[in-house]
Amino acid sequence: MGDIKHSVPKWITGTICLVMISLLGAAPAWAQTEKHTVFTEYDFHWLGQLKAGQTLEVINRNGQIEASAVAGDEARVEGIRRGNDDDRDLFIEVVEYSDGVTICAVHANDKTPGRCHRGGVSSESNSWHGNRAKINFDVQVPPGVRFNALTTNGNVLGRNLASVVEAATTNGNVEVSTSQWASATTTNGGIRLSMGSAKWNGELQVKSTNGSVDVTLPASAEFKLDAVTTNGGIHTDFPITVQGSFSSKELSGTVGGGGRELKVATTNGTIKLMKS
């Protein structure tokens, strides 16, 4: 079993494995298969072994997340802070699971572990809303490792990945290219996805509110499409079989044999579906 090791200069290392931990006193309650570690260093460096099928999740608040692919099974995450003394309440929490790791930027006075969990940060101090502390994450993702990137104020960028990606922000753009597939959401920003595979199961969502949405898929992709915009138009390179009526702002139909679902939506912006 591998633990976080402090003997390596500048880099925090960890091996993702099944960890049994003992909870004492009034410590936060979490599953015994989780290992929580808090880091308060100014700049953050983490590396650990992740294999195909596991998940690497990075959760931010103020700052962007940028990811690229790396050969082998060693994942790396760097967090470089931008700001001033306001960042004294910013720290990083790492949660290791048997099937992956979640890394969170947490804004709170109390640095007790337990706020970071899959999908978000709980019991966060309300002070972060007025906090200018900012951290940008640079991530290297091994092939086949699922990558989840969530932030509030910042872009999510993924270049030449070999992963299934889930990307979300509120105020920022999402730009992802991967040999697999990706879902994306933002409120104030555009989305540009380039996917090398259309073999997802069920429903894949790509949604913005104030921004255009561009999705590139393999020419051989087959899916059911539901695309809608309020203030903009829809353009597609794919021949679509439509039943019933359609308009320049709403398009539902089948590409090829259909099957899996692709839902693309925006309020203020255009939608483009392109063949790779």
Q: What is the pLDDT along the chain (276 residues), one digit of tens a residue?
A: 334 333 333 455 554 433 333 333 334 555 667 999 999 888 899 999 999 999 999 999 999 999 999 999 999 999 998 766 556 789 999 999 999 999 999 988 888 899 999 999 985 555 445 556 899 999 999 999 999 999 999 999 999 999 999 999 999 999 999 999 999 999 999 999 999 999 999 999 999 999 999 999 999 999 999 999 999 999 999 999 997 667 889 999 999 998 899 999 999 999 999 999
φ, ψ dihedrals at 98, nearest 5°: -70, -20
Say what the pTM is: 0.87
What stretch of H or E contains 147? strand 146-150
Residues 43, 78 contacting (CB under 8 angstroms):
yes
Domain layout of the chain by residue ranges: 1-19+33-142, 181-276
Angle at 130 (CA atoms; ends 89, 90), nearest 5 degrees: 20
187: Cβ contacts below 8 Å, ≥ 6 apart:
169, 170, 171, 208, 209, 210
Residues 272, 214 contacting (CB under 8 angstroms):
yes
Percent helix, strand, coil in the chain, to 5, is 5, 50, 45
pLDDT at 83: 66
Tens of pLDDT along 109-148?
888 899 999 999 985 555 445 556 899 999 999 999 999 9
Q: β-strands 116-117, 120-121: how paired?
A: antiparallel
DSSP state of 5: B
